[in-house]
Each structure stands twice: as structure tokens, then as C-alpha cells.
Amino acid sequence: VQKIVQNHYTTFDKEHIRDVTDSLIGHCQEKKTGEDVRVQLSDESIISIVNDLFGAGFDTVTTSLSWCIMYAALYPAIQKKIQAELDQTIGCERRPRLSDRGMLPYTEAFILEVFRHSSLLPFTIPHSTTKDTVLNGYYIPKNTCVFVNQWQVNHDEKIWKDPSSFKPERFLNATGTEINKTEGDKVVIFGLGKRRCIGESIGRWEVFLFLTTILQQLEISLAPGQQVDVTPQYGLTMKYK
């Protein structure tokens, strides 16, 4: 990443902004001496921001999409329901748009269930307590490293009925025409609190657009007679074998 950022500095042209790295460099160069230094970005900050965008943004989205495609192949009847909804709402004359999300409740429910059932981000990134505190009777000293076990929340029988089953319908209202927001908000995949993932919205948008575009054009299926092992391999994100 340092080499990429350095190359951007060397070839930077303020009249031709190529990407987010150029935009950050341009932002820094526009700041005049004497301005509030708290709103300025150092070279190290730019490297860290770009690293976060590439590391957290691309891997999580591609892993999410990979799980969506796998579940679509494992549950062909569910895949057909998504495609029927796409055909009825969008058709084949144009590509899906973000503005279509509210009109595709079953597709949205499918994505939510993929997030919940796979729990592809089993733990949040580490946070640290800034002072001594007490939570639910537990004393937590300052500078304690804290993780949220998102997998446990998404598979808790006290929260979910039959959590081991893959059922997109659990996120629909009684008529199946809208997302049940109360149920949808129970899914924990982007962290909790004020320090949750700042890329949550764009991540959801990307998964929606990529998945709907693929399923509008293609039918996903397993090779005849092939056994698929979806046992997750643990890491920052969980990927199937």
C-alpha cells in the first residue's frame, strides 16, 4: 500500500483525479499553512485510510457475495423466488439499480439471512475501553481489548426461531411484501454502537447490486454429483472450503 500511495504522490495531477487516493492527496495539498491542523491528513493517515478501504472493503464484500452465490446454489427454490421477483419488478430490459431495493423485499430478506446464517464476520474488529467501566455487573478495566461475538448473536436461540435453518422468510412481514425492520435490525454483521463499520451502507449496496445483476442474468447451480463442503475456514472473514 505504501508503494501505491507513493506512486500516486509521484504522478499526482490535480486536474485528473483518478481514484480515492488522489482525492485524499488533493485534499491535503489544498490545505493552507495555518489552518486547523486537526482537519489535515498526514501521509501516514492516507496510507492507513487506503489500507482500510482495500482490506476491509474488498475482502468483506467479495466474501459476502461468495456466500450469497453459494446459498443460491444450495437452495435452488429460493434462488427461483429471487429471480421471479427480479423478473416481475425489473425485467430484462435494464440492470438493477439501488432505487430498486425497496421493491425487492424477498431479495433483501435473502441477503439478510446470508449475513445471519453464515456470520461471515464472526467477530468485530478489536476495540479498547478508554476507561474503567462496569457492564451487566462485570468490571472491565481501562485498555481492555473487546470483541463482539457476532456469530453467537446471530445463532442465539433466545433471539431466533430455529437459527440453524436457512429461512429468508423470517425477515418478511406477514404478507411477505416488506422487510420486517425489527427482525432485520437483530442481525449483527457490521459491529455495534457508534464505532461500528463506517462502510456498512456501501457494503450493503454493493452486495445488493452485484447479486441482483448476477441472478438477473444467470442461474447458479452445483455441478451434477458434486459434494460441496461449506464448513467455514476461520479468519478475519469466514470462507467456505
Closest C-alpha among 99, 101, 63 to residue 85: 101
**Quick one: cell of 53?**
478501504
**Quick one: cell of 181?**
425492520
Helix (H, G, I), strand (E, B) or coil at 56: helix
Helices assigned H by DSSP within the chain: 2-10, 20-30, 43-52, 59-74, 76-89, 105-118, 150-154, 181-184, 200-217
Helix (H, G, I), strand (E, B) or coil at 232: strand
197 annotated ligand binder: yes
Half-sphere exposure of 41 (CA within 13 A, CB side): 18
**How long, in residues, is the chain?**
241
By CB atoms closer than 10 A (0-12, 13-18, 19+), residue 241 is exposed
Give the annotated binding-site residues.
197
Question: Annotated binding residues for heme, as ranges?
Answer: 197
